[in-house]
């Protein structure tokens, strides 16, 4: 039986991307990349001006880190255009923001969810992105589902004092920390 290609999923507990607090993580990830291209799924807000601002910040961040190209998925990309963008990169990034918005935007486009689940490469989720990649989390005692690309529930921006007990085993990731899962 041939070895199946593996992927690495990195879940960040949170990062201030304007301050580039996890720049060393992205430099290490860049070393593993053949294409040096990163695909971003930026839909974590309903505010177009805020998304535009963070697209510029993200693009500059990855450029400064050494990536050749930052590719953004657009909400109106066709399944064919989405496939082309996925094929250009070996790293995918889901940023922080509102996990409910990111989750629902991906669920509206089943071709993107399928591509994420089949992707062999590195997928990075920061805060909201990490929640969406996991089985989900509890925010203010309300369940927020995820895509279950990893078989764990998570809590991001974890601070022991503010923790909520859940009945499900949960990985707690503090701000500016991350975990990598190889599958």
Domain boundaries, the chain: 8-182
CATH code linked to domain 8-182: 3.40.50.880
CA distance linking residue 131 with residue 137, whole number of Å: 6
Element (H, E) at 178: strand 178-182
What's the pTM?
0.90
The 10 Å Cβ neighbour count of residue 36 is 16
> What pLDDT is attached to residue 1?
41
The residue ranking higher by pLDDT, 138 or 44, is 44
39-78 burial by CB neighbour count: b if 16+ within 10 A, else e?
bbbbbbbeeeeebeebeeebbebbeebebeebbbbeeebe
Residue 165 has pLDDT above 70, yes or no: no
Confidence of residue 167 (pLDDT cuts 50, 70, 90): low
Report, as an integer, the average pLDDT of 44-52: 96
Q: Do residues 18 and 57 lie in contact, with contact meaning Cβ atoms separated by under 8 Å? A: yes
Choose among 10, 12, 2: nearest CA to 150. Answer: 10
């Amino acid at each position: 039986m041939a070895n199946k290609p593996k992927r690495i999923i990195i879940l960040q507990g949170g990062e201030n991307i304007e301050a580039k607090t996890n720049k060393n993580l992205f430099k290490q990830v860049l070393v593993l990349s053949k294409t040096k291209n990163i695909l971003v799924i930026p839909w974590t807000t309903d505010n177009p001006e805020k998304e535009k601002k963070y697209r510029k910040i993200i693009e500059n961040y990855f450029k400064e880190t050494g990536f050749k190209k930052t590719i953004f998925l657009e909400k109106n990309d066709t399944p064919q255009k989405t496939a082309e963008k996925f094929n250009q990169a070996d790293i995918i990034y889901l940023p922080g923001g509102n996990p409910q918005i990111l989750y629902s935007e991906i669920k509206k486009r089943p071709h993107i969810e399928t591509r994420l689940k089949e992707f062999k490469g590195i997928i990075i989720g920061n805060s909201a992105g990490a929640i969406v990649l996991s089985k989900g989390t509890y925010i203010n005692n309300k369940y927020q589902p995820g895509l279950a690309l990893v078989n764990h529930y998570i809590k991001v921006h974890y601070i022991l004092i503010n923790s909520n007990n859940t009945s499900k085993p949960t990985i707690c990731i503090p701000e500016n920390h991350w975990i990598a899962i190889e599958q």
